[in-house]
Structure 1
Amino acid sequence: MKAKLILSALALLSTGSFTYAQQQVNVLQVPGVNQYAKIDTAGTSVLPSGRYITPAGKTIRITHDPFGLSISPDGKKAVTLHNGVFTLIDIATMNATRVPGYGKKIISPLPNGSFLGVAFSPDSKMLYLSGGDNGAVIVFDTDKFIKTDSLSLNGAIGGKDYDDSFTSDLVLNADKNELLVLDRGNFRMVRVNLGTKKLTASIDVGRQPFGLALSPDKKIAFVANVGMYSYPLIAGATPKNADSIMISRHPYGDNTKESREGTIVEGRKIPGVGSPSSPEAMSVFTIDLATNTVISKFKTGHQVGQMLEDAEVTGGASPNSIAVGNQYAYVTNATNDNITIIDYKNHKLLGDIPIKVDSRIDKFRGLLPFGICLSKDEKTLYVALLGFNAVAVIDVPTKTTKGLIPTGWGTSRVKLSADESELYITSCRGYGAGPNGGFGFVAPPQGTYIGDIQLGTFQKVPMPDQDQLAVYTRQVLANTFVSTSVPAATNNPLPVLPGTSATPIKYIVYITKENRTYDEVFGQLKNANGDSTLARFGVHCEYTLPDALRVQFPNLNVSPNHIKVANQFAFADNYYCDSDASIHGHHWMMGVIPNEWVEANSNVSKTAKLFSKAPGRRFPGSTGSMDPEDYAETGGLWEALERKHVDFYNFGEANETAHVREDWEDTATGAAHIVMVPMQKALFTRTSHNYAGFNTNIPDQFRVEQFKTEFTKMWIRGKKKMPSLITMQVPNDHGADIRPKDGYPYRQSYMADNDLAVGRMLDFLSHTKYWKNMLVIITEDDPQGGVDHLDAHRSILMLAGPYVKKGYVSHTHANFGSILKTIYNILDVPYVNQYDVTGSLLQDFFTNKPDFTPYTFINSDTRIFDTKKAMARYSKNTNWRKIKKSIEMDDEDREREDHYKQQKGKKTSGTIVN
């Protein structure tokens, strides 16, 4: 058996670009494996991912998430576009002006948000800004600092009346004194005459048009479409009957007969979404501007259903940005880590340029090419790598990567100066967030919410010569991973790589929660790096309350089970969510790196209009689940397990889309669906339709009962054994508005509900016959609800089981990549992406001397959460529809507002009270 395992390991390692000699293997980990996250703008910053940041050239910090970038024709100014904000930068001095300013002396010209598109006028004095949700282009005078005009895309043109436009990318065509503008609401490109301020043409393009470019001769426009489907409503749905016609779950798995052709679910007729091979799906359109007609539709990158080695492509290429030369156009395919070459004059695809960075990780995806620009001689491409914190320098003639330039976290755009002596680069998250509370913390002007405190960066980098580029390249790789030679065979229950050694762990239960930071739950724990003044959800935490409430709650215990589990088993004080919010978190947790569409779409103000004629207003904007726009090339955790024929089952994850209802009555799954969005095909038949996902109206105690009932029926009394992996969501630590009548008199009540549920589930699992071979992983999807003295991304990670050390505190860096590496290594499943393969190896959590002692839960403090009161509603004849709706899971504006509301009246830094 051992020989078979070693042979299996050899085969895996040879295909994974690892080396093997004398039973030694190379294990890749992040360089910050033994360091805490920190920001050091003058040296080396350690990100929550464990990677380093050392930006080249000169760097300034600007507002978070700069997804638009333009350089003025005179070369003196740069402008970066954020959601509802733009930053004007003097390139020579690197001084930046934020509009609006934090002092609100400069009024925002973008009160409804903005999205991607920004351009300078030829005289460098005017800005044209995408108005995003308001469907307009905003004109702004940079000398007077005032908005001078608003050009709406709505209205009649070509015999058709357009409404509900949503402005996306835009390009100035100075020769015609016009703007070319993408409308993601109506899936079209619009031409706007700047002299008459009239729309002169409307050309239908593909779904969710995202990137726009113009040929040097100004005759051809290029549109990159990142949308996979146009999502339909249930057949016959109207505003009046929508509430009664919804179904309780996703209607079908993606790319199945049902999803292509339609089906019947719960008696409702469900339209299909068609084929992912449709020309309108994830494609590049070319438009002849002389005739206003689409002349070519290119499907770039790898296609869904294609086989890559031993894996089927499940995600579209996500073509997003375009650089155009005199004959060839170059398109970044984020999902595939490559660039497609289009001979647009001969209407041909000429193949792809794979972006290669290092042979040890090139097999795995995770670069996520986004912004792109082309040198004047058309021999060099500069590509912003969103997932790799670098700009790739690509030699076009040889189709090779010449080198890498280090940037900030989440590189979004790159531009060349007119004389090509400098590069200008933006990054979404810059140096990271840093602390947002605790002793000595002073709130910065932008605030303390994670989405505000985390600033982006703008870089000015002198063009490197060959020697300097080589130095930069070595730095980028050193910032990303280190390699260590270790014995392949080990007696640690966690193998060093998938298949390298046997493990007694046969079953993993992966419990995911919502929105908490480390300090607010574990800040009091000894022998760990915590701040007890922030432990508002700990035990004996009445001191975090204001004086008016403190006397009412002596010895307040909000999370006794979290504290007990941490002390009885093991927890980490150096664990971070890679995510800022739920839309990112539920991708990361399930092994999918959020692509440029997820990142940009999650950070834009947008209004859903489900019954609009504009199909893009039923925008895919996932929260607790991934939409087809978001899928990775060969999937994530689900698909990796399916390929390896490893059994899994899901409770609660991935049953929420952007437009679900989450009322009290939706107890089967926590949601009711009106817009028809497919679920991942691998997951669709392996997920419970009788377990409530995110819905804070439903007590976590209800979920415990659902889980225990289904688990007992299938794997204790049933004939089948427990699957190798169970994923489970218990979300109520997210918090919501107080509901005293329902047993939630304080915000702490939701955490207490969640704490009891975690304790009860672990109690149940540890008393089953599977416990002796079980590992339970407990973590959060994101940290956006809380505060932390070390870093706003730091969160909760607990491991429990017989082979987990008892009373152990891990100081090893950990993130979602580490969790997934743990799962893959134990279940002998090959890695999927670069974060898996370079994640920290968490062997320090484990012991080969098992302790089979089960866990016994602690009841909640009934002063803040009474289980009987919370569950009483389920025995009453209640008019469910009159009950207040649950808050939306990933409404970042709501989370931001709630974050600041909870800071008012606090007794100590970070305390939240009602």
Structure 2
Amino acid sequence: MKHLLHFLLLFTCFHVSAQPKPKTYTTLQVPGRAEFCRIDTGGRSVLPSGRYVTPAGKTIRITNDPFGLALSPNGQRAVSLHDGVLTVVKLKELAATRIPDYAGKIPAALKEGSFLGVAFAPDNRTVYLSNGDKGRVLIFDTDQHQTIDSVALDGNGYTDSFTSDLLLNGSELLVLDRANFRLVRIDLSTKRITASIPTGRQPFGLAISPDKKLAFVANVGLYAYPKVPGVTKTNKDTMALKFPPYAAHTKESAEGVEVEGRRIPGLGSPLVDEAMSVWTVDLNTSKVVSKVKTGVQIGEMIEEAEVVGGASPNSVVVGSRYAYVSNATNDNISIIDYKSVGRGGKKLAGTIQLRVKSTLDRYRGLMPFGMALTNDEKTLYVTLLAFNAVAVVDVPTRTVRGLIPTGWGPTRVALSPSAGPEQMLYVTSARGYGAGPNGGATFVKPPQGTYIGDIQLGTFQAIPVPDAAQLAIYTKQVLDNTYQPVMVTDDGRNPLPVLPKTRQSPIKHIVYITKENRTYDEVLGQLPSANGDSTLARFGVGVTIKSRISTSRGTSGRTTDRPGDTVRVTNADIMPNHVRVAKQFAFSDNFYCDSDASIHGHHWMLGTIPNEWVEANAASAGRFDPDSKAPGRRFPKASGAIDPEDYNEIGGLWEAFERNKVSLYNFGQANEYAGNVEEWTTTQFGAAQSVVFPMPKAVYPHTSRDFAGYNTNVPDQYRIEQFEREFTAKWIKGKQTMPQFVTMQIPNDHGAGPRPDFAYPYLHSYMADNDLAVGRVLHFLSRTKYWKNMLVIITEDDPQGGVDHIDAHRSVLLLAGPYVKRGYVSHTHANFGSVLKMMYNILGVPYVNQYDQTASLLQDFFTDKPDFRPYDAVLPDVRVFDPKAAMKPYKKTFDWRKIQKGPEMDDRADQRAEHYRQQDEK
């Protein structure tokens, strides 16, 4: 007995010592991680990111996306410019008039779009407005609420102009034409163009020196994109490129390549003067006298990370000697000593690093945009588009003195004309307090509508210039709104480590599946264990389809029932696999897309914060024309790809994995560019290019050449066959091991118009196709040898097509795998940052930006007791979607019994032959 006790004691000691010792780490997480989104204009609102907004001063709500702002010379009025909308604010009363108004009494002034530019005349009532896509300047009377004249930029050999920023210079207007890469001078007495001065690519920001002698143009374009040789309007279906010809910032992209039997021209170097730069124009001679590259340059190294994104210099303010340029990508301000330009002196006089907190400053995530300089030139106010604040910069010391809280996505800041204790700051924010609900039993439809882009109003703030004590309070408030230090004890058991590189996770493979345009309630709102509204679950189970003909606008997927709609199908299961996966594995009822639409969504979900160019471009109507003589008309304006102009400083998810040697493979992401040819026959890659656009270098060689990305004409069932075929060939039967990270786009829940001849009689048919594809992917993956160490993440890129009773941004997040809890619903506030943090922590990859760093930690989804049971896919209602019929045009069969059997496993004969082949090579 004595020896037995001694043995047990030794065993117990050994067992205890073998257990991992708990460690406590400090994490940064959003303050709203235990809350659902909400709007509280009198308190604090919770954004989709989990951050708070508490705008300082007095705040009113205005139309969404105010990207232009001007004050009248007497300081009594402000005008903000939106896409096709003008807001006139009486500053004393802080009362806003929307033009057009919702009642229909005030007609529209900007019926055909607008972009950035607005300037007041000396009479305090006349304003000059950018007419954006129409290439005109409108002259508007703010007293009479009507357009009184206009000036077209076309002529003298220029066509397809696009009016960008503008300003008044005495008796003339200076206007940027972003389509033709020029600065236009207009004589207001004759309404004639007196000069057209070349600029860099995509001129965006415009400023003038106090002595009116110099104009400064900030160019945000990186490349001028050429048309694919040989493509015409009539042959693009056959002659467009089937796959991007090269990766960005490579020898091939610089010099061109031979692809598909044609010589594809290169884009040149991203370091040329025309690319992302600030040009200075002498207004006496109408000549460019200086071209300055600001910020950090592509190819430089920052803390062992290569810079892949240009500086994106976007706004300029000018003092008596120095011009200040906001570099969005670099979170800094460049200082140009313009007085020394042309006299042998330095052009760049220094940099102001926008440092806000030591715990955050190693990562980017501020996105400086609009600026205002005090009359004494000692203080610079900078809107931080991605940080929901205005930075107060002390110019003499080149440091951030403090922060002022704003609405979500501040765009512009202006100072009242009078200095002193009564001076005011005026700030516009693109998304204000957020969107809030846009449906549900208690929802009351507001006058602006319910679409996410309409219901989400901007804000206009009037803030007394704060003294030091008030600024200290504001600064603390901004930081508290953004993150909290959270102590987390890690016992070594949860498959999701607390931080990257702290320990190994049993999860070795992540499959990241992204879909399109759905909200939580319309798919999962029926689930009784969660915070849903079953009345909005139009794509759930047991639903009724009322109309055969969709009333969707374009391809947004938005539908409404009309009086007299006919009931076509009752008790239909539209997305049974989504419901089944949610019940069997785990899902969130508190997950939100940071995005409104695809152009934002495909940035956020791949770890890229949309910059000022993405946001402003997305908020303005613009015509893409590959045949135009105006080079700016061939700009991608992508909705499903990240353009070189959009790249963050050190990139996003792809670049992070490449730096850390995480193996990856991509099915269908990063392929949707403007002008794409998307037909039902475009099945190899989903789309073809008529203009030459590159892909990010980190993912280009790891992207499938046989997978149809975004193209709702192609069935998701076809994509799944492509996926299963390549997966099997490479990683089951082939020599290669499945990569650590795999992305996959399954886009048909975006929806489109009914196509009954192709097995899509209803909008709901696209959802059912998408649902079956999701079920099939899980069915397949859970029967592979990799399943035992796999995590599958399923989400949407954006929620724009749907409605939700909590918030228009709330969307679908499903997790599946052996280490995911079974039958679990997470109420932790989550967003794309949370998903990225999850992937980075599991795969041991350092964070890329402040959104990853401060996101909520979703450890509650996981268990250390794996359950290896596979998932069994189910068929949706055949009355809504018949997969056999959908595959007939491609002469392919839909074999449900074969699908149910799962992937083809290793064939012994094949393996034996491969074994001896390798032996012969030794």
Establish whether TM, by shorter chain, passes 0.5: yes
Where 2:512 maps in the other structure, the secondary structure is strand
Where 2:698 maps in the other structure, the secondary structure is helix
Residue correspondence of structure 1 range 66-465 to structure 2 within 5 A: 66-156=66-156, 161-174=157-170, 177-347=171-341, 348-420=347-419, 421-465=423-467
1:857 is aligned, of 855, 873, 876, to 873
Q: Does 1:651 align with 2:651?
A: no
Where 2:340 maps in the other structure, the secondary structure is coil
In structure 1, distance between residues paired with 2:331 and 2:471 = 21
Equivalent AA in structure 2 for residue 86 of structure 1: L
In structure 2, distance between residues paired with 1:476 and 1:620 = 35
In the TM superposition, what is the alpha-carbon distance from 1:549 to its structure 2 partner?
7.5
Where 1:587 maps in the other structure, the secondary structure is helix
In structure 2, distance between residues paired with 1:533 and 1:508 = 34
In structure 2, distance between residues paired with 1:229 and 1:370 = 21
In structure 2, distance between residues paired with 1:205 and 1:82 = 25
Contact 1:534–1:544 (CA<8 Å) still a contact in 2? no
Q: Does 1:667 align with 2:683?
A: yes
Contact 2:313–2:326 (CA<8 Å) still a contact in 1? yes
1:737 is aligned, of 727, 750, 753, to 753
1:844 is aligned, of 860, 866, 875, to 860
In structure 1, distance between residues paired with 2:439 and 2:430 = 22
In structure 1, distance between residues paired with 2:91 and 2:546 = 46
Residue correspondence of structure 1 range 514-533 to structure 2 within 5 A: 514-533=516-535
Name the counterpart of 1:884.
none
How high is the sequence identity, in percent, across the aligned residues? 64
In structure 1, distance between residues paired with 2:720 and 2:699 = 21
Equivalent AA in structure 2 for residue 309 of structure 1: E
Name the counterpart of 1:907.
none
Residue correspondence of structure 1 range 875-886 to structure 2 within 5 A: 875=891
Name the counterpart of 2:848.
832
1:466 is aligned, of 460, 465, 468, to 468
In structure 1, distance between residues paired with 2:483 and 2:701 = 37
Name the counterpart of 1:52.
52
1:605 is aligned, of 602, 616, 621, to 621
Contact 2:513–2:795 (CA<8 Å) still a contact in 1? yes
Equivalent AA in structure 2 for residue 323 of structure 1: V
In structure 1, distance between residues paired with 2:282 and 2:761 = 62
In structure 2, distance between residues paired with 1:335 and 1:459 = 25
In structure 1, distance between residues paired with 2:69 and 2:190 = 27
Name the counterpart of 2:785.
769
Where 2:600 maps in the other structure, the secondary structure is helix
In the TM superposition, what is the alpha-carbon distance from 1:418 to its structure 2 partner?
1.0
Equivalent AA in structure 1 for residue 476 of structure 2: R
In the TM superposition, what is the alpha-carbon distance from 1:481 to its structure 2 partner?
0.3
In the TM superposition, what is the alpha-carbon distance from 1:239 to its structure 2 partner?
3.3
In structure 2, distance between residues paired with 1:721 and 1:549 = 53
Larger radius of gyration: 2
Equivalent AA in structure 2 for residue 327 of structure 1: R
Q: Does 1:615 align with 2:621?
A: no
Contact 2:546–2:568 (CA<8 Å) still a contact in 1? no
Residue correspondence of structure 1 range 692-707 to structure 2 within 5 A: 692-707=708-723
In structure 2, distance between residues paired with 1:62 and 1:824 = 38
In structure 2, distance between residues paired with 1:269 and 1:304 = 26
Query: CA RMSD, aligned part only?
Result: 1.4
- Listed one character per residue, the Cα deviations across residues 545-566 of structure 1 (whole Å, up to 9, x for unaligned) are 8798886534210011000000
In structure 1, distance between residues paired with 2:340 and 2:564 = 76
In structure 2, distance between residues paired with 1:236 and 1:710 = 32
Name the counterpart of 1:816.
832
Contact 1:422–1:461 (CA<8 Å) still a contact in 2? yes
Residue correspondence of structure 1 range 707-786 to structure 2 within 5 A: 707-786=723-802
Where 1:61 maps in the other structure, the secondary structure is strand
- Listed one character per residue, the Cα deviations across residues 544-591 of structure 1 (whole Å, up to 9, x for unaligned) are 887988865342100110000000000000000000000000000000
Contact 1:489–1:500 (CA<8 Å) still a contact in 2? no
Contact 1:488–1:500 (CA<8 Å) still a contact in 2? no
In structure 2, distance between residues paired with 1:821 and 1:268 = 43
Contact 1:805–1:845 (CA<8 Å) still a contact in 2? yes
Where 2:166 maps in the other structure, the secondary structure is strand
Equivalent AA in structure 2 for residue 578 of structure 1: D
In structure 2, distance between residues paired with 1:493 and 1:241 = 53
In structure 2, distance between residues paired with 1:771 and 1:243 = 40
In structure 2, distance between residues paired with 1:22 and 1:586 = 38
Residue correspondence of structure 1 range 21-36 to structure 2 within 5 A: 23-36=23-36
In the TM superposition, what is the alpha-carbon distance from 1:23 to its structure 2 partner?
4.1
- Do the aligned partners of residues 572 and 22 (structure 1) sit closer, same or farther apart at CA in structure 2, a change above 3 Å counting? closer
In structure 2, distance between residues paired with 1:542 and 1:488 = 48
Where 2:734 maps in the other structure, the secondary structure is coil
In the TM superposition, what is the alpha-carbon distance from 1:612 to its structure 2 partner?
1.1
- Listed one character per residue, the Cα deviations across residues 143-168 of structure 1 (whole Å, up to 9, x for unaligned) are 22211111001111xxxx11110000
Equivalent AA in structure 1 for residue 299 of structure 2: G
Name the counterpart of 2:596.
580
In structure 1, distance between residues paired with 2:810 and 2:691 = 35
Where 1:841 maps in the other structure, the secondary structure is coil
- Listed one character per residue, the Cα deviations across residues 723-754 of structure 1 (whole Å, up to 9, x for unaligned) are 00000000000100001111111110000000
Equivalent AA in structure 2 for residue 202 of structure 1: S
Contact 1:225–1:283 (CA<8 Å) still a contact in 2? yes
Where 1:542 maps in the other structure, the secondary structure is strand
In the TM superposition, what is the alpha-carbon distance from 1:22 to its structure 2 partner?
9.7
- Do the aligned partners of residues 383 and 492 (structure 1) sit closer, same or farther apart at CA in structure 2, a change above 3 Å counting? same
Provide TM-score, normalisation by structure 2.
0.91
In the TM superposition, what is the alpha-carbon distance from 1:24 to its structure 2 partner?
2.8
Equivalent AA in structure 1 for residue 72 of structure 2: S
Equivalent AA in structure 2 for residue 829 of structure 1: V
In structure 2, distance between residues paired with 1:266 and 1:707 = 24
How many matched pairs? 851
- Listed one character per residue, the Cα deviations across residues 78-99 of structure 1 (whole Å, up to 9, x for unaligned) are 0000001110000000110001
In structure 2, distance between residues paired with 1:805 and 1:511 = 19
- Do the aligned partners of residues 552 and 107 (structure 1) sit closer, same or farther apart at CA in structure 2, a change above 3 Å counting? closer
In structure 2, distance between residues paired with 1:610 and 1:233 = 6
Contact 1:50–1:814 (CA<8 Å) still a contact in 2? yes
Provide TM-score, normalisation by structure 1.
0.92
Where 2:478 maps in the other structure, the secondary structure is helix
Name the counterpart of 1:626.
642
In the TM superposition, what is the alpha-carbon distance from 1:486 to its structure 2 partner?
2.1
In the TM superposition, what is the alpha-carbon distance from 1:104 to its structure 2 partner?
1.9
In structure 2, distance between residues paired with 1:167 and 1:549 = 43
Contact 1:433–1:450 (CA<8 Å) still a contact in 2? yes
- Listed one character per residue, the Cα deviations across residues 492-538 of structure 1 (whole Å, up to 9, x for unaligned) are 00000001122100000000000000000001001100000000000
In the TM superposition, what is the alpha-carbon distance from 1:360 to its structure 2 partner?
0.6
Contact 2:236–2:677 (CA<8 Å) still a contact in 1? no
